[in-house]
Structure 1
Amino acid sequence: MKADIAIIGAGLAGLTLARELSEHANISLFEKARGLGGRMSTRRRDEHRWDHGAQFFTARSRAFKALLKPFIASGDVVEWQPNITTLSPCQPAYKRPWFEPHYVAAPGMNSLLKAMSPGLNIALQTRVETLQQHNGKWRLLDDKGAELGEFDWVISSAPLPQTQVLLPFAPDTWADFGMLPCYALMLKVNDSDLPVWDAAKVNDSSLRWIAFNHRLPGRNRELGAVVAHSTADWAANHLEDCQDTVRNQLTAEFCALTGVSPQAVKEAQLHRWRYALATEVTKNALGHDPSGYVLDSERKLAACGDWCLGGRVEAAFTSAHQLAARLKQQGF
């Protein structure tokens, strides 16, 4: 008889786990958001789209390249070859080279996840709030107290702070992991009002990254859509500030860095990512524990995600891929 496994979170890690374990177990995915994606989400407003989390990804491991190969063939994933620059308030801009292929999903970053999801049992807008042990299994309850089912295994692919609250691991389990916040500023700006470059790495500023989202492959170039990410330090210092003030400050910084007139900004939105980037503690811990996941085989609990391996998109896949291999090796 197949084991029943609940996976919390339907981002890249959760979907990877589900796909790799579906032949060996009965899988149920629970996602609190309205759609797939996690930090590979796409925000929509009218006809405009912003990839307000991950902007691109690389593929360095053989396993991740193998996952992407059919989606590259189908056009769901496309290599991105942008004109990249480096900006600073105090120094002239200069061209920034890239030395490896960079990819985006098309027409939005969540398109890869949509292409991975057919055939999977996914419950959207379902927040898992409580785990209870019952007759040797784990009973899941949502945020309204409704029962979601009983499962042999529970695996969280949610961000670290949410996983810490949900899974009953010892506090020192999480000592080597941490996450930092980030703001995503989303602007409507006509393409004709923007510089000729496509994206910028920013130094010495409250912003660290700017991309003209509508110029990514598969997007509508006529609908100017800008995404700018703050630094983690700036976000942490302003996390609870008035969000209108934060939005205005970051918009002013964008205009100052790029030379875009404030009058050219037709609309500005803000998204506060409380859990966006892996801390240096996590990165330093990788040399000591390269497993890339957290596992309690006796109680049948586990966790995985990009926060286990340094925060990149590929890290989310690798963490889930390694956990799936371990579970298949030891059996259920």
Structure 2
Amino acid sequence: MKPNIAIIGAGLAGLTLARELSGHAHITLFEKARGLGGRMSTRRRDRHRWDHGAQFFTARSRAFRALLKPFIAEGAVVEWQPNITTLSPSQAPYKRPWFEPHYVATPGMNGLLKAMSPGLNIVLQTRVETLAQQAGKWRLLDDRAEELGEFDWVISSAPLPQTQVLLPFAADTWSGFGMQPCYALMLKVHDEDLPVWDAAQVNSSPLRWIAFNHRLPGRDRHLGAVVAHSSADWAAAHLEDDQDSVRERLTAEFCALTGVTAPAVQEAHLHRWRYALATDVDNDPPGYVLSATHRLAACGDWCLGGRVEAAFTSAHRLAAQLRRLGL
């Protein structure tokens, strides 16, 4: 008899785990948001779209390239070959080469997750708040204390701080892991008012990355949409500041760096990612957290130091270990 598994979070790690275990267990994914994505989500306003989390990804492992291959063939994933520059308040811009393929999903970064989701049992807009063990099963309750079902295993692919609160592991389980915040500034600017480059790495500034989102493959190039990410250190120092002030400061910094005039910015929106960036982890970590005794586990990019591919790798390794345990 196949076990029932609850997976919390329907980002890349959660979907990867569900796909790889679907032949071995009955899987239910619980996602607190309205749609798929996690940090690969896409923000919409009217016809404009901003990929306000992950902007691109690489594929360095054979397993991740194998996952992407059919989605590349069908056009859900496309190689991105942008004109990249480096910006600094005190230095002239200079071209920044990339030495490996970089990819984006279409028509938004959550397009990959949508392509991975058919056939999976996904419950959206549901926040798992509490676990309670009873007669060898895990009972899940939502944030209204309503029952979500009984499961043999519970696996969290949520960000580290949320996983720490949810799973009853010892405190020292989480040593060596960490996450940092980031602000995402989303601007509406006509394409003709923007520089000729497509994206920029930024040094010595509250901003660390700028991309003209509408120039990514599969987007509408007529709808000028800019995403600018803050540095983690700056976000941490200003995390609880008045959000209108943060938006205004980052917009002014964007204009100063790019030469875009303030009147050219038609709209400015801000998203505060409290848990955006994973800190570095020890060399050669397992890539997941697991207690076979309690039938609890966790995976995610934070287990391997960040990056989109790290989310896949963490879930891929955990799935393999669970199969070895006879799941």
TM-score, with structure 1 as normaliser: 0.98
Which residue identity lines up with residue 301 of structure 1 in the other structure? L
Which residue of the partner structure matches residue 96 of structure 1?
96
How far off is 1:331 after superposition? Answer: 1.1
Alignment of 1:297-308 (within 5 A): 297-308=292-303
Structure 1 residue 150 and structure 2 residue 150: aligned?
yes
Q: Which runs of 5+ in 2 are unaligned?
A: none
Which residue of the partner structure matches residue 273 of structure 1?
273
Secondary structure (helix, strand or coil) at the match of 2:91 reads coil
Alignment of 1:19-34 (within 5 A): 19-34=19-34
Deviation string 1:120-173 (CA, Å, 9 cap, x unpaired) is 000000000000001100000000000000000000000000000000000000
How far off is 1:278 after superposition? Answer: 1.1
Deviation string 1:59-95 (CA, Å, 9 cap, x unpaired) is 0000000000000000000000000000000000000
Alignment of 1:172-321 (within 5 A): 172-279=172-279, 283-285=280-282, 287=283, 290-321=285-316
Deviation string 1:158-190 (CA, Å, 9 cap, x unpaired) is 000000000000000001100000000000000
How far off is 1:114 after superposition? Answer: 0.2
Deviating above 6 A after TM superposition, structure 1's stretches of 4 or more consecutive aligned residues are none
How far off is 1:290 after superposition? Answer: 1.9
Which residue identity lines up with residue 56 of structure 1 in the other structure? F
Which residue identity lines up with residue 185 of structure 1 in the other structure? L
Which residue identity lines up with residue 79 of structure 1 in the other structure? E
How far off is 1:40 after superposition? Answer: 0.1
Aligned Cα root-mean-square deviation (Å): 0.5
TM-score, with structure 2 as normaliser: 1.00
Which residue of the partner structure matches residue 84 of structure 1?
84
Which residue identity lines up with residue 173 of structure 2 in the other structure? T
Which residue identity lines up with residue 256 of structure 2 in the other structure? A
Which residue of the partner structure matches residue 45 of structure 1?
45
Q: Which runs of 5+ in 1 are unaligned?
A: none
Which residue identity lines up with residue 238 of structure 2 in the other structure? H
Structure 1 residue 325 and structure 2 residue 314: aligned?
no
Aligned residue pairs total 327
Q: Distance in 1 between matches of 2:69 and 2:164?
A: 34
Q: Distance in 1 between matches of 2:304 and 2:276?
A: 13
Secondary structure (helix, strand or coil) at the match of 1:93 reads strand
How far off is 1:294 after superposition? Answer: 0.2
Which residue identity lines up with residue 306 of structure 2 in the other structure? G
Which residue identity lines up with residue 221 of structure 1 in the other structure? R
Which residue of the partner structure matches residue 159 of structure 1?
159
Secondary structure (helix, strand or coil) at the match of 1:92 reads strand
Q: Distance in 2 between matches of 1:29 and 1:107?
A: 24
Secondary structure (helix, strand or coil) at the match of 2:168 reads coil
Secondary structure (helix, strand or coil) at the match of 1:6 reads strand
